[in-house]
Amino acid sequence: MKGFEYLQKELDAMQKQGIFRNLIELKSEQGSKVMIDGRNVIQLSSNNYLGLTNHPRLKKAALAAIEQFGAGTGSVRTIAGTFTMHNRLEEKLAKFKHTEAALVFQSGFTTNQGVLSAILTDEDVVISDELNHASIIDGIRLTKATRKVYQHVDMESLEQTLKETQEYRKRLIVTDGVFSMDGDIAPLPAIVELAEKYDALVMVDDAHGSGVLGENGRGTVNHFGLDGRVHIQVGTLSKAIGVLGGYVASTRTLIDYLIHKARPFLFSTSHPPAVTMACIEAVDVLLEEPERIDKLWNNTKFLKEGLNILGFNTGHSETPITPVIVGDEGLSRQFSDKLLQNGVFAQGIAFPTVAQGKARIRTIVTAQHSQDELQQALKAFENAGKELGII
């Protein structure tokens, strides 16, 4: 069919630059090892922090939900698609996050879009960390609010922006809790102090912090002892929780407002029973199996120390997200290919996802990895790193 020649031209150029990518197919469940191209390789690229994607309790809950309630819900939440289980999941999440209420969206991505576009107008200003996730950036694009960006985790830059924006009706500071490409943690105590000093609201997107930091994985806000001082907490059900979806935890007022105004909530069908019931089960697993989080952190320490001893640059990571920064885009790609030949799946990440010249392999260990697997992974990094002259 004719019509897309202009797009094909761009794709051809991407082929030439070596940045065109085929999607990598997994032929197994998501685990500490996965089947790629007929080989069983160590998985260091998933967000399956606690190994819940295939936890027997989640699978059982999902199957039982399908048997009793079917495959889909047949409506949006606000018309005929709210089942008891949806409200139950939200009550559970609110309790887990120590907030008055919570609201579930189809994904973490749409949660940010829904919240940011609903609560700000042209009388307001949104103040965003420069390395915030794409879904925050897109959410901000959907508001008529004035946009300000402060330098990454730079509190002087944030304070300066707060000083310059005193005339707006509302000011909303928004930040990732854990930054997804570097694994560093936002300085929430300082952000909250500034917000209180300048009477601003704070929104934390804890997609990579929930299930990882805080008591039983309650997230970065809880980790810093800031329960009750952060206005809006966004989380995902797709990473440590192991299933799919996003949520916002906040006051009753904000949640009631979003139920009436957040467009992805209003105009997109509710989660199917299997997803909802598996998420409920996952929260219970977090509460009942805290040893998974301990294992995650032990594995994190082991891999990070191993990489550092080998001489790799792992940047400012403080969490299970450990980047191995090589700089050059082409080199990062070769490194990733070599790792796969050595039995490790760890994706290279380059511009525009990270800054130019900051290309890297991004690793995420999970609670499912055995010491033996991590030892093998380190050996693969050593071999590939030496072959390419990185170490």
Ligand X SMILES: *Cc1c(COP(=O)(O)O)cnc(C)c1O
- Enumerate the active-site residues: 180, 208, 239
Q: What is the 3-state secondary structure of 138-169? A: HHHHCCCCEEEEECCCCHHHHHHHHHHCCCCC
33 counts as binding ligand X under rule CB under 6 A:
no
CB count within 10 Å of CB 293 equals: 21
Tell me the per-residue interface mask from 231 to 250 with ligand X, x by CB under 6 A, - otherwise: -----x-x-------x----
Tell the smallest beta-carbon distance from residue 272 to ligand X (Å). Answer: 15
CA distance 288 to 52: 13
Stretch that binds ligand X, among 116-124, 204-212, 220-228, 298-306 (CB under 6 A): 204-212
List CB contacts of 225: < 8 A, sequence separation 6 or more: none
d(CA 385, CA 335): 7
Indicate whether 207 belongs to the interface with ligand X (CB under 6 A): yes
- Enumerate the β-bridge partners of residue 103: 248
- C-alpha to C-alpha distance for 346 and 44, rounded to whole angstroms: 5
Q: Where are the beta strands (DSSP E) in the chain?
A: 33-36, 39-43, 101-105, 125-129, 146-150, 171-176, 201-205, 232-236, 246-250, 321-327, 344-345, 348-349, 359-364
- Give min distance, CB of 163 to ligand X, in A: 27
Output the smallest distance, CB 205 to ligand X, in A.
5
Query: Does 45 participate in binding ligand X (rule CB under 6 A)?
Result: no
Q: By CB under 6 A, which span of 28-36, 167-175, 203-211, 319-327 interacts with ligand X? A: 203-211
Q: Are the C-beta atoms of residues 227 and 189 closer than 8 Å to each other?
A: no
Q: Which stretch binds ligand X (CB under 6 A): 64-72, 152-160, 190-198, 200-208?
A: 200-208
Site string for ligand X, 63-82 (x = CB under 6 A): --------------------
Other CB atoms within 10 A of residue 91 CB: 13
For ligand X, the nearest residue by Cβ is 108
Given the rule CB under 6 A, which of 108-116, 264-272, 310-318, 328-336 is the region that contacts ligand X?
A: 108-116
Residue 112 or 299 having the CB closest to ligand X: 112
Provide the minimum distance between the beta carbon of 178 and ligand X in the complex, in angstroms, as a whole number. Answer: 8
Q: Comparing C-alpha atoms, which of 237, 245, 248 is closest to residue 118?
A: 248
Region from 56-64, 121-129, 186-194, 201-209 binding ligand X, contact rule CB under 6 A: 201-209
> For ligand X, which is the closer residue by CB, 242 or 385?
242
Burial string for 249-273 (b: 16+ CB within 10 Å, else e) reads bbeeebbebbbeebebbbeeebbbb
Q: Which CB sits closer to ligand X, 208 or 338?
A: 208
Contacts with ligand X in 130-189 (CB under 6 A)?
133, 135, 176, 180
CA distance linking residue 277 with residue 15, whole number of Å = 43
The count of residues interacting with ligand X (CB under 6 A) is 14
Q: Which of residues 86, 208, 292, 333 is near ligand X by CB under 6 A?
A: 208
Residue ranges binding ligand X (CB under 6 A): 107-109, 112, 133, 135, 176, 180, 205, 207-208, 236, 238, 246
